[in-house]
Amino acid sequence: MSSPAIVGFSGNITRPSKTRSFVDLVVQDIATRHGLTGHTYDIDDVGPSLGAARWSRDLDDRGQTILAQVIAADVLVVGSPTYKGSYTGLFKHFFDLIDPSALRSKPVLLTATGGGERHALIVEHQLRPLFGFFEAFTLPTAVYATDKDFTDGVLRSELILKRAAQAVDHVAVLLADRPGVRLAAE
């Protein structure tokens, strides 16, 4: 791609959403550090055609555009609120519409949110295997945040912000050889 892009996709179904704001914070950090464009989407952006779609062609134009941007992204940042120990159903359904080879080798930064620490392994036991199926390159540092890490819907925990910055640092390694991308130290 001539214009590298960072795309975030959040599995939230309501707004405002801590998950979407978290995913967008990571997307914008990557984009700002490297002089790239960044866009964040969620289930609501895909629209009502998602629930009835059996194939990607069943999505309306807006949904197909978002799906195409997710597939074309140079780096994908994903996140889901934790629902009964896993990602949301519509989040999974969205990715079910993607051809299994379409995300092969794509760098994916994993994030998730939940009500408490007991769901922290969602990133390792749910999200990482999902993107492993696609043969995507999931970054080694995944980030999970709880409700207590947010104030008025904004991530405030210094510990979680530091971990997110560490995950974003991994992106620099992947983008270092791409034309038109600047490293954070430049």
- What confidence category does residue 2 fall into, taking pLDDT thresholds of 50, 70 and 90? very low
pLDDT in tens, 85-139: 899 999 999 999 999 999 999 999 999 999 988 888 899 999 999 999 999 999 9
Q: What are phi and psi of 103, to 5 degrees?
A: -110, 10
Task: Look at the block and give the residue holding tokens 């996140």.
Answer: 79
Least confident of 1-10, 45-54, 168-177: 1-10
How confident is the model at residue 174, as a pLDDT?
A: 82
pLDDT of residue 184 exceeding 90: no
What percent of the chain is modeled with pLDDT above 70?
92
pLDDT of residue 4 exceeding 80: no
Q: Which residues pair with 28 in a beta bridge?
A: none
Q: Extract the tokens encoding 140.
A: 């080694």
How confident is the model at residue 11, as a pLDDT?
A: 97
- What confidence category does residue 183 fall into, taking pLDDT thresholds of 50, 70 and 90? low
Give the residue, 176 or 103, on which the prediction is more confident.
103
- Tally DSSP H helices, then E strands, for the chain: 8, 8
Q: Extract the tokens encoding 48.
A: 């009502």
Query: How many angstroms separate the Cα of 82 from the Cα of each of 28, 29, 107, 144?
Result: 23, 23, 22, 10
How confident is the model at residue 177, as a pLDDT?
A: 66
Helix (H) or strand (E) holding 37: strand 37-42
Q: Check if the beta carbon of residue 10 is closer than 8 Å to that of residue 41.
A: yes
CA separation for the pair 108, 78 (Å, rounded): 7
Single out the residue of 38, 19, 165, 163 nearest to residue 81, CA to CA: 19
**Mean pLDDT across 31-50:** 95
| Structural domains for the chain | 5-175 (3.40.50.360)
